[in-house]
Amino acid sequence: MSQADSSSWAPNLSPDELWNERSYFTGVLIGAVAYGVHCTLFFIALQLLLARKRSHWKDYIWIAYMVVLFSVSSVANGTRFKFTQASWIDNRNYPGGPGAYLVEQTTSVDLTCNIAYIINGWLQDALIIYRFWVIYGRSFVALAGPLIVFLAEIVLSLWLVVGLTGGEILRLTVLSKLFTSYFAISIGLNILLTLAIVFELMMARRNIGRLVNGSAQYVSVAAMLVESAALYAICGILFLVPWGLQDPVQQLVLPTLGQVESIAPVLIIMRVAQGRAWSADTETRLTTSTVHFVPHADTVELSSMPSKGASTTIFGSSTWTRRESDEEATVKL
């Protein structure tokens, strides 16, 4: 084995350039772990949905949604691996190394990866907006703001796709700003919705948490984190800050963020499949007390009480009747 100085094998790159390449490569590996988590949760949630009785069209919508989400996420993960292979192996002699290739080349594989993650973002945001609407009592007034922002996100992301497929001048002058705007709107929307959902669930916890047994599954800390898709909001903040600072640390987070776009919705769907998700009538059901009556009539003689005649009290399943002499009073419940 050669005893030559290993430092001579290092590429002729600055420390910043090396850190940029290392962060990208490490981020891809971390993202692969996140994809494994997503894959595991997908099959668990799918099994839960298939095992329960499906009596409503929404049950099939949840299954179709998860399958599409997992399929798109798998395409994004696979094409990211393929582009990484092209950068480090297939084109290892590219001028400037893999780092330069990543910045300067936009191949069909890279474009497919970006489009897949954008579609994943749409699916994730649509679900969190839907859950926000449900938790806020299906209020269309509350829905208006998030829906407008979501439509703006879609328009901006389509413009971003055009930028990715456009010419060199468009890419260099506009692409970075488009990415920044897209991430800011998408992640910002999720952060605001997360805070709004957590606030609503905390108010519900304050109202019913100490009064009703069994409410913990709806208003516990874990329930709030899952229902609000807090995982994506937290991961989004960890990415957005270094992205805005142009710090390579963002490359450690970006691949994972792409998978968390799928993990957060699957966690919500798992709660739906288990019957633990908050619905529009959950608070009403938990705070409404129901009186159950004996299904058959019981007659009690009240002969010891002074009256003008025989007095009888009858309890039925839905009617309380008291007869006294010729008078009769009935109360419906």
Q: H/E/C letters for each residue in the chain?
A: CCCCCHHHHCCCCCHHHHHHHHHHHHHHHHHHHHHHHHHHHHHHHHHHHHHCCCCCHHHHHHHHHHHHHHHHHHHHHHHHHHHHHHHHHHCCCCCCHHHHHHHHCCCHHHHHHHHHHHHHHHHHHHHHHHHHHHHCCCCHHHHHHHHHHHHHHHHHHHHHHHHHHCCHHHHHHHHHHHHHHHHHHHHHHHHHHHHHHHHHHHHHHHHHCCCCCCCHHHHCHHHHHHHCCHHHHHHHHHHHHHHHCCCCCHHHHHHHHHHHHHHHHHHHHHHHHCCCCCCCCHHHHHHCCCCCCCCCCEEEECCCCCCCCCEEEEECCCEEEEEECCEEEEEEC
Residue 12 lies in a domain: no
Between 305 and 274, whose confidence is greater? 274
pLDDT value for 83: 95
Q: CB–CB of 313/322 below 8 Å? A: yes
Residue 292 lies in a domain: no
Number of domains in the chain: 2
Q: CB–CB of 60/54 below 8 Å? A: yes
Between 21 and 208, whose confidence is greater? 21
pLDDT value for 218: 52
Range(s) of the domain holding residue 67: 17-282
Residues 178 and 276 in one domain: yes
Give the least confident one: 218-222, 226-230, 269-273: 218-222
Residues 247 and 169 in one domain: yes
Q: What is the mean pLDDT of residues 133-155?
A: 93
Using the predicted structure, report yes or no on whether residue 214 has a pLDDT greater than 90.
no
Residue 205 lies in a domain: yes
pLDDT value for 262: 93
Query: Which of 41-55, 240-254, 285-299 is the most confident on average?
Result: 240-254
Whole-angstrom CA distances from 214 to 204, 223, 269, 282 are 13, 13, 20, 12
Residue appearing with tokens 């409503």: 56
Between 208 and 88, whose confidence is greater? 88
Residue 287 lies in a domain: no
217 C-beta neighbours (distance < 10 Å), count = 15
Give 288's pLDDT tier (boundaries 50, 70, 90).
low
Using the predicted structure, report yes or no on whether residue 235 has a pLDDT greater than 90.
yes
pLDDT value for 162: 85
Token pair recorded at residue 28: 């891809």
Residue appearing with tokens 């940029």: 20
CA 256/CA 239 separation, integer angstroms: 10
pLDDT more than 90, % of the chain: 45
**Model confidence over 2-20: pLDDT tens digits?**
555 556 777 888 889 899 9
pLDDT value for 222: 61
Give the least confident one: 11-15, 43-47, 137-141, 302-306: 302-306
Give 18's contacts (C-beta < 8 A, 6+ positions apart).
11
Residue 1 lies in a domain: no
203 C-beta neighbours (distance < 10 Å), count = 12
Residue 288 lies in a domain: no
Q: What is the mean pLDDT of residues 13-37?
A: 93
Residues 154 and 184 in one domain: yes
Residue 232 lies in a domain: yes
CATH number of residue 192's parent domain: 1.20.1070
- With CA atoms as reference, report the closest residue to 245 among 164, 186, 180: 180
Residues 73 and 156 in one domain: yes
Residue 76 lies in a domain: yes
Residues 161 and 310 in one domain: no
**Model confidence over 81-116: pLDDT tens digits?**
999 999 999 998 899 888 889 888 888 999 999 999
Residues 274 and 302 in one domain: no
Q: What is the mean pLDDT of residues 304-316?
A: 45
pLDDT value for 331: 34
Mean pLDDT of the chain: 79
**Model confidence over 166-179: pLDDT tens digits?**
755 556 667 888 88
Q: Which residues pair with 327 in a beta bridge?
A: 324
CA 20/CA 248 separation, integer angstroms: 6
Residues 260 and 316 in one domain: no
